[in-house]
Amino acid sequence: MQGLSINLSQQQRLSPQQIQLIKLLQIPTAELAARIEAELEENPALEEGISEERLEEMGDRETVEDLANEEMAIDDYLQDDYAGYKMAGDSYDPNEEMRERPMPTVPSAEEFLLMQIGFVIINERERIIAEQLIGSLEDDGYLRRNIESIVNDLAFTVGFETDYQEVEAVLLKVQQLDPAGIGARDLQECLSIQLHRKHIADDQALQVAIRLIDQYFDDFSKRHYSQLQQKLSIDEALLKKAIQIITHLNPKPGGSEAGEVAPFLQPDFIVSQSDGKLDIKLNGKNAPELRVSKSFQEMLQTYSKGDKQQKEVKEAVTFIKHKLDSASWFIQAIQQRQGTLLKTMESIVAQQYEFFLSGDEAKLKPLRMKEIAEVIEMDISTVSRVVSAKSVQTDFGMYPLKYFFSEGITHESGEDFSTREVKNILRELIEQEPAGHAYSDEELEGLLAEKGFVVKRRTVAKYREQLGIPVARLRRKME
């Protein structure tokens, strides 16, 4: 006789509201307005405007008509101001004194990429190659010109001699820029770059997605799903999760049309100095304030008084209530997004305060996402979503948020230094090499040790490669 058994297991399931918040956290400011517009079109119970609660907060200083007239006058005068969400952390302040900041309103995609190259390119040779590569990108962000042609372009246009290997090495660095996938040579490489930079809770599905693109792209593109299940030894459910991850990637990271700017070009945060103190604001540009439709609420009350036994009345009540709930959830999710983003940015600024005051890279401290997650008491995946494809405008320029994160190395004095600063010291050592002698990685390890940095030879080699500096043998040949 076959026995019966009961198995208990715990499973974590995300509510629709949590899923909605997760998606909103990931999107940058420039995409937020489009996301809100889509929700406004889909849900008639959601509308633009100031809620009654918001009006009560304002008090009796202004009537609705006065406020509407005032906003129209401001819009007519400024045209393109920073009016947006009038909630905690918004960048709009009618009493704020206007002052100049080095803030391009909408730089071109090429300009923003050129702004970023300083984060991955150190020496002058690589800068020249990187600028040529960025200038060769097509409107959708792809590099379809082959590397041999880039080598020839550099030789004929600026008299710069290089080779395939050096250009490809710089291209790999350009592909580290935002948005993920920029500089890819084909769709497979574009998707692969994005997947390798992704951080999601379901790591198993992500790893399957990476293998689908990196190893089985031909089968995947031909939809040979049964064969893929066998090759990967996975079930249908896991395959579907992996495919879902892939289908949410951006196949055109640079924008599909000429002149279209990528989402990251608008800063998500603005950090400025005022009387020696830092002011942190969310950029709420182009995002309207939202409210639940009063007419829909009244409609629900009217239908609720009807005969609940009638099928039409019952269906109408269900529909209206669903739309009202969805509108309320969406507004709450937007507010949560703003609050979470602001809390995260405030924590980053607190950790890197000296840099935001001076703009001096040497002031950057070692910082991991885990540390920020502990400070704001949220999961590290939440911090990762906030940081992803986001940027901050400072008094010294615009920076991607991930710029402020790096591992640390402890000096023999006990002081912590960011790996970025150690890399700068390594670069200086190589630039100051005596004539006719290029330091080996072992020698560089010893020189760093003399400065108090205990770094293993293999780590020295890794940092050197990340700086785009060839091995000693090749450096001697270049002299």
- Alpha-carbon gap, residue 330 to 339, rounded angstroms: 14
For residues 41-66, give the mean pLDDT. Answer: 63
**pTM for the model:** 0.51
With bands split at pLDDT 50, 70 and 90, how would you rate the model's confidence at 294? confident
Last residue of a domain, one of 345, 372, 404: 404
State mean pLDDT over 136-141: 87
Over residues 209-214, mean pLDDT:
92
SS3 call for 3: coil
On whether both 345 and 422 belong to a single domain, the answer is no
Long-range contacts, stretch 270-275, CB < 8 angstroms, 24+ apart? 270/91, 270/101, 270/103, 270/392, 270/393, 271/345, 271/349, 271/356, 271/392, 271/393, 271/394, 271/395, 272/101, 272/394, 272/395, 273/357, 273/395
Same domain, 120 and 90: no
Overall domain count for the chain: 3
pLDDT greater than 50 at residue 134 = yes
Helix intervals (H) in 175-289 = 187-196, 203-214, 217-221, 225-232, 236-247
Distance of CA 430 to the CA centre of its chain: 33
Q: Are residues 132 and 89 in the same domain?
A: no
Query: What are residue 410's phi and psi, to 5 degrees?
Result: -90, 125
Q: Mean pLDDT throughout 5-34?
A: 70
Same structural domain, 205 and 317: no
Q: Are residues 316 and 349 in the same domain?
A: yes
Query: At CB < 8 A and 24+ separation, what contacts does 157-166 make?
Result: 158/128, 160/128, 160/129, 162/125, 162/129, 166/125, 166/129
What is the model's pLDDT at position 5?
A: 58
Is 357 inside any structural domain? Answer: yes
Mean pLDDT in residue range 202-219: 88
**Is 420 part of any domain?**
yes
Average confidence (pLDDT) over 156-161? 86
**Residue 89: pLDDT band by 50, 70, 90 thresholds?**
very low
Question: pLDDT category, 62, cuts 50, 70, 90?
Answer: very low
pLDDT at 21 over 90: no
**Mean of pLDDT values over 26-30:** 78
Provide the CATH number for the domain around residue 459: 1.10.10.60
Give how far Cα 54 sits from Cα of 295, 329, 359, Å: 18, 17, 38
Provide the domain limits for residue 322.
Answer: 15-105+270-404
Q: What are the Cα distances from residue 310, in Å, to 60, 302, 321, 322, 451?
A: 44, 14, 17, 18, 83
Distance in angstroms (rounded) separating the CA atoms of residues 342 and 272: 14
- What pLDDT is stored for residue 257 in this prediction? 41
Same domain? 98 vs 118: no
Look at residue 255 and tell me if it is in a domain. no
Tokens, residue 35: 């996301």
Question: Per residue in 325-348, pLDDT tens?
Answer: 888 889 988 889 989 999 999 999
Looking at the fold, whether 291 and 222 belong to one and the same domain comes out as: no
Domain boundary among 353, 378, 404: 404
Distance of CA 123 to the CA centre of its chain: 26
Q: Is residue 47 part of a domain?
A: yes
Asked if the structure places residue 155 within a domain, the reply is: yes
Assigned domain for 2 exists = no
Asked if residue 261 is part of any domain, the answer here is no
Residues 336 and 290 in one domain: yes
Residue 279 lies in a domain: yes
Q: Are residues 116 and 194 in the same domain?
A: yes
Domain final residue pick, 247, 280, 313 = 247
Per-residue model confidence as pLDDT tens digits over 396-438: 777 888 888 876 565 565 555 667 777 778 888 888 888 778 8
Token pair of 253, please? Answer: 């990271």
* Amino acid 84: pLDDT: 30
242 and 116 together in one domain = yes
**pLDDT for residue 254 is more than 90:** no
412 and 313 within one domain: no
Q: Residues of the chain with pLDDT > 70: what percent? A: 75
- Is the pLDDT assigned to residue 70 strictly greater than 50? no
Q: Of 339, 298, 291, nearest to 320 (Cα)?
A: 298
**Per-residue pLDDT tens over the stretch 255-274:** 644 334 444 457 889 898 88
On whether both 134 and 233 belong to a single domain, the answer is: yes
- The position carrying tokens 């996301």 is 35
362-388 mean pLDDT: 86
Gap between the Cα atoms of 328 and 308, Å rounded:
24
pLDDT at 241 over 60: yes
Q: Give dist(CA 343, CA 348) in Å, integer.
A: 9
Q: Which of 476, 405, 387 is nearest to 437 (CA)?
A: 476
What pLDDT, in 10s, does the model give residues 167-202?
A: 999 999 999 888 888 999 999 999 999 898 876 666
**In this structure, are residues 447 and 457 in contact, taking their beta carbons and an 8 Å threshold?**
no
Pairing status of strand 391-394 against strand 397-400: antiparallel
Q: Which residue has the tokens 């849900």?
A: 43
Rounded to whole angstroms, the Cα distance separating 362 from 379 reads 29
pLDDT band at 375 (very low <50, low <70, confident <90, very high): very high
What is the pLDDT of the chain when averaged over all its residues?
76
Split at pLDDT 50, 70, 90, the class of 82 is very low
